[in-house]
Structure 1
Amino acid sequence: MAKVNDKKREKISVATEIDRLEERRERCQDNLERAEFKSRKERLSEKERQELQEEMAIINERVQKLDKELQLLRGENRKNMLLSVAVFAISALVYYTFFYNEANT
């Protein structure tokens, strides 16, 4: 099953993957905020409070993991953008060198 997910992920652009991870991070952040609100506003037994704190710790770990993945993907996206700009610049230079100069001579 993991191989199928990897193949599907290969077809997804970096920008799409960034959007997907940002949505997941936002959902985790919302869940964390709800849990924090619940811990402040509701009267909880010691056991319920401990379970809620454990849940909050798990959510925090997920958010940190998603932040690391996002950082890596943004770096990859930056590299792709620079490569695109370089290809465009080379193409413009070739066009100018061969076609624009020939038209002026």
Structure 2
Amino acid sequence: MAKLKDKRREKISVATEIDRLEERRSRCQDNLERAEFRSRKEKLTEKERQELEDEMAIMNERVQKLNKELDTLRGENRKNMLLSIALLAISAFFYYIFFYNEEDP
């Protein structure tokens, strides 16, 4: 099953993966904010408070993990952009050399 997910992700562009991770991070942050609000406003038993704090710790870890993945993907996206710009510049340079720099008799 894990290999199937990896194969599907290989076909997804970096930008699409960034968007997907940002959406997941946003949902995790929303859930974390709701849990924090609940811990401040509701009267909870000690057990409920501890469970809520454990849940918040797990959500914080998820958000941090997603942030690391996003940083990695954004770095990869920058490399891809720079490579594209370099290829465009080289193509433009050769186009100029072969079509505009010909000696006219």
TM-score w.r.t. the length of structure 2 is 0.97
Q: CA deviation at 1:101?
A: 1.4
Residue 58 of structure 1 corresponds to 58
Q: Residues of 2 paired with 1:16 and 1:30: CA distance?
A: 21
Determine helix, strand or coil for the equivalent of 1:43: coil
Q: CA deviation at 1:93?
A: 0.1
Code of the residue aligned with 2:13 in structure 1: it is S
Q: Residues of 1 paired with 2:39 and 2:96: CA distance?
A: 66
Question: Could you report, residue by residue, the CA deviation over 1:15-50 in whole angstroms, capped at 9, with x for unpaired residues?
Answer: 000000000000000000000000000000000000
Residue 101 of structure 1 corresponds to 101
Q: CA deviation at 1:13?
A: 0.2
Are 2:16 and 1:4 aligned? no
Q: Residues of 2 paired with 1:100 and 1:32: CA distance?
A: 60
Q: CA deviation at 1:75?
A: 0.3
Which runs of structure 1 show a deviation greater than 4 angstroms over 4 or more consecutive aligned residues? none
Q: Residues of 2 paired with 1:83 and 1:63: CA distance?
A: 30
Taking the TM superposition and a 5 Å limit, the aligned residue runs for 1:1-80 are: 1-80=1-80
TM-score w.r.t. the length of structure 1 is 0.97
Q: CA deviation at 1:9?
A: 0.3
Identity of aligned residues (%): 80
Question: Could you report, residue by residue, the CA deviation over 1:83-104 in whole angstroms, capped at 9, with x for unpaired residues?
Answer: 00000000000000001112x6
Q: Residues of 2 paired with 1:100 and 1:80: CA distance?
A: 29
Q: Residues of 1 paired with 2:49 and 2:92: CA distance?
A: 63
Aligned length: 104
Code of the residue aligned with 1:24 in structure 2: it is R
Q: Residues of 2 paired with 1:35 and 1:89: CA distance?
A: 51
Structure 2: gaps spanning 5 or more residues: none
Code of the residue aligned with 1:46 in structure 2: it is E
Q: Residues of 1 paired with 2:72 and 2:56: CA distance?
A: 25
